[in-house]
Chains A and B, each alone.
Chain A
């Protein structure tokens, strides 16, 4: 958000969520919302993260557990299909990986600097010992 002078913003330390009129915002997808510059959605907090989840759609069963459990609404799902992770807002807490029920897991944590393609190419195989 641009650094403005004292006379260049609305009074009352009040922040708008959206620019213009928002009707029925609950049923409007994020990509269709007119987020205001002061909405935290437009700010990236990716640098808070030291480990990141990588999503492997080959094993995903679209159970939506990760979507339900994510505390930052950073799992992107459309039409009940898991699409990926919102890496601007994911804090790397690992809860999505913890709750993922597939074998092998469809989400795994890696160091922030890990190469996604490389990790996907060497994804662990199904673990036969665990149920």
Chain B
């Protein structure tokens, strides 16, 4: 490797953004085309500094919008480079058109999405609106709960995404500010370990292979389009999970840190369970342990992989739970909520008698406190004791004004 290596301590104090930037350095990204946006800015800023300081061999392309940023990434990936960028919220929304291009062209780009609310009203803080916006775009979506996850999942993302049987772009999500700007201890890999894990980039159908000229970005109409989309869906449904599992296993061997497609916490004998994503998973785990001390058998299910959606794994983990609360951190705007709907879809046609209710929380960075979760677990236990759901199916946590509930 013709660049300077960086000596890292075994544990560094990093926030989620810097952890992700360090992972991009260690993976030796060839091209980052980026348009900075709060709260993701320090990721691409960090890569740019590593590049300027000679710690990485690559190109930083400054562009005029997020649409151009992802377009630049698509071009660089089609040319045959290892490519990544980062964005949030409004920038992610502007990228949406090109997200579908990237996945349909089967280009293994890694996009760090630092989750933030969508305007209006304008808001820079964390919720999952942007994450939800990308859910049908054909990307793999991994979710980090803390800076350590944000660091580790970037390595996993490249490993899975670049596999020639997968060749699908991958988002690594972390919560804006709660993860991205909260410094915690992060256990590091050495540069050799990190680069060794993802390995040298292996191009596929790259435009710089002049002996095998290819056309990327073609047009298909009713005679071909459906087959291409069906192929992409098939590969998401059948090829991605085995590769993610293999990458998680290999990463555990390397680092001792074990990731799972669905992260279970005290779920073996749980009567009541919360299903959620992001930093809320860690809060819910802490509260679940406290609820156990009060005699309520509480557990927590965190989604590590959002797309493809772990349908079978969710069915398995929730099969004996008596009451389930699904937490959506994005305004459903006229529906029960994405995660609620997915979980309901998993459990339908199974033998479960679980009482399923949904909660909308944390919009625009509103805190989800331990008190909220204590009340939530208590409400779930009351449902179990009554043998029926005593509340409306959709409730709001932490919003001011008269109690808001529907369905």
- List chain B residues, Cβ under 8 A from A32: none
A3 to B214, CA, bound (A): 20
A11 to B214, CA, bound (A): 12
A4 (CB) vs chain B CBs: closest residue: B227
Query: Looking at chain A, what size class is its interface with the partner chain?
Result: 20 to 34
Say yes or no for B167: interface residue by CB 8 A criterion. yes
Report whether over half of chain A's contact residues are helix, strand or loop; otherwise say mixed.
loop
- List chain A residues, Cβ under 8 A from B214: 14-17
Query: Which residue among B105, B213, B217 has the maximum number of chain A CB atoms within 10 Å of its CB?
Result: B213
Whether A12 touches B211, Cβ cut-off 8 Å, given contacts A3-B223, A6-B230, A6-B231, is no
Say yes or no for B352: interface residue by CB 8 A criterion. no
B205-A12 in contact (CB<8A): yes
Query: Looking at chain B, what size class is its interface with the partner chain?
Result: 20 to 34
Say yes or no for A63: interface residue by CB 8 A criterion. no
A61 to B48, CA, bound (A): 60
B233 (CB) vs chain A CBs: closest residue: A6
- List chain B residues, Cβ under 8 A from A22: 210-213
Say yes or no for B218: interface residue by CB 8 A criterion. yes
Restricting to B223-247, which residues have a CB under 8 Å from any CB of A?
223-224, 226-228, 230-232, 234-235
A120 to B218, CA, bound (A): 41
Report whether over half of chain B's contact residues are helix, strand or loop; otherwise say mixed.
loop
Say yes or no for A118: interface residue by CB 8 A criterion. no
Restricting to A1-34, which residues have a CB under 8 Å from any CB of B?
3-7, 9-18, 21-23, 25
Say yes or no for B107: interface residue by CB 8 A criterion. yes
B227-A14 in contact (CB<8A): no
Say yes or no for B220: interface residue by CB 8 A criterion. yes
Restricting to B75-133, which residues have a CB under 8 Å from any CB of A?
104-107
Interface, chain B (partner A; CB < 8 A): 104-107, 167, 205, 210-218, 220, 223-224, 226-228, 230-232, 234-235
Interface, chain A (partner B; CB < 8 A): 3-7, 9-18, 21-23, 25, 38
A-B contact pairs, 10 of them (CB 8 A): A9-B227, A12-B105, A12-B216, A13-B105, A14-B105, A14-B214, A15-B215, A15-B218, A22-B210, A25-B213
What are the 8 A-B residue pairs with the smallest beta carbon separation, nearest first? A12-B106, A6-B230, A17-B213, A6-B227, A15-B215, A11-B106, A6-B231, A21-B211
